[in-house]
Amino acid sequence: MTVTTRRMLDLTVHEHTLTVPLVWDDTADSRTIDVFAAVVSRDGGEHLPYLVFLQGGPGSEAPRPFRDPVGPSWLDDALKDYRVVMLDQRGTGRSTPIGDGDLQRPAASLAEHITHLRADSIVRDCEAVREHLGAETWSVLGQSFGGFTTLTYLSTHASSIEHAYFTGGVSAVGHHPDEPYALTYDTVRDATLQYYRRFPEHRDAFRRLAERADAGEIVLPDGEVVSVSRLRSLGMLLGTNEGWQTLWSLLERDPATNAFRYDLASALPFSGRNPLYYVFHESCYADGVVTNWSAERAMPEEFQSDVTLLTGEHVRREWADTVPALQPWREVVDILAHVEWPRLYDEAALTASGARGAAAVYANDIYVPMEYSLETLRMLPGVTPFISSENEHNGLRSGDVLPHLIDLAHGRRVR
């Protein structure tokens, strides 16, 4: 264990690195990893209770504790009530990150290692950090995949959680991944059609781009020949408050220009920076099943016949063949697609958890279906839903969502 203290203006940041088992509950397995957490407090807030932040993803590290606009916009609000624990989830950031350097290992060995990076193991890491900090309980803020992880936390260690806050991250419980993916196609279709109603000329503009992609005429600076399915994944932009502006700018540009090629490369999801986001993305919905490219299987016929319908957080197997940054991971993703993943949630434990808190559920969320979020929240009557049509999936970063949730959880007048 190591601890380092830094000062950043009026913030104090204690950086903790713990060594923990790669495989919890298997004493015969001696492998270990490091888990990093930055504990942030404001001057005068050194004795406030802890709030651990669980980042979205999977496969992304926590944001760094800088002030907005460089750091997370919600941090100042959180620091009014809490000391904030920024945890780099295992395999990311400074928590023994997985990257291209690990491809030197046999694919089967690397894939097996990655199976131990899911929410159930992240929860055990959280418990180790909580105990290290000497906190009997703490609160949890889960954004997107971090909310999924919070549900796992409540399934296994609910007594450790004072308040649970979810922002766009209440997962389906007891459903095959095909089911939530089918609903996300519905919401991204609605978002796409709404965009075309605002900018009708862009439907033809996108169709022309798709024709160029089909002919192999769109080549990114890294040499990627953009496939039609990759181009359609720009629909993920419509899941954030301001993402439509990026899509609009792209569709206004001449595709023969450097500006278009570089901007497109920046806008496309599932890049090589965080390969885990692509490599085991579908495992976050795998509540005791084999995924086997669930999002592809769930694609409705209308998406297959209409190339102008954009897609969302729907990974495709073909990208392991066509995207240069993902090609080295081809064998690993093929192995992981056929893993029989353990259960993540326990309905009976969730119902009996006595969980308290609040959850932001976004009515038009193209990432996490509202229908299943509300179904799951019925298992958690002490977690107050805040249903909003004002924000998209990134409402935590773009709105005043967190203060509202904290007030709801504490029974205070909403700020």
- Report all structural domains of the chain as residue ranges with CATH numbers, in order of start: 2-174+345-410 (3.40.50.1820), 179-336 (no CATH)
pLDDT: which is higher, 89 or 1: 89
Mean pLDDT on 17-29: 96
Query: Is the Cβ–Cβ distance between 338 and 354 less than 8 Å?
Result: no
Question: With the C-alpha atoms ordered 210, 212, 217, 221, is the resulting torsion angle positive or negative?
Answer: negative
Task: Write the pLDDT tens digit of every residue in 339-357.
Answer: 999 999 999 999 999 999 9
Task: Please name the residue ranges forming H helices in 268-400.
Answer: 275-279, 294-297, 301-305, 319-322, 330-336, 347-351, 370-377, 395-398
Q: Which residue has the tokens 């434990």?
A: 349
pLDDT, residue 72, reads 85
Q: How confident is the model at residue 1 (pLDDT cuts 50, 70, 90)?
A: low
pLDDT, residue 5, reads 84
Task: Write the pLDDT tens digit of every residue in 138-162.
Answer: 999 999 999 999 999 999 999 999 9
258 burial level (CB within 10 Å; 0-12, 13-18, 19+): exposed
Instruction: Confirm whether pTM is higher than 0.75.
Output: yes
* The pLDDT of residue 70 is above 80: no
Task: Write the pLDDT tens digit of every residue in 89-137.
Answer: 999 999 999 999 999 999 999 999 999 999 999 999 999 999 999 999 9
pLDDT, residue 68, reads 64
Q: How confident is the model at residue 3 (pLDDT cuts 50, 70, 90)?
A: confident
How many Cβ atoms from other residues are within 10 Å of residue 412's Cβ?
10
> Residue 25, by phi and psi: left (phi above 0), alpha (psi -120 to 50) or beta?
left
Mean pLDDT on 278-288: 95
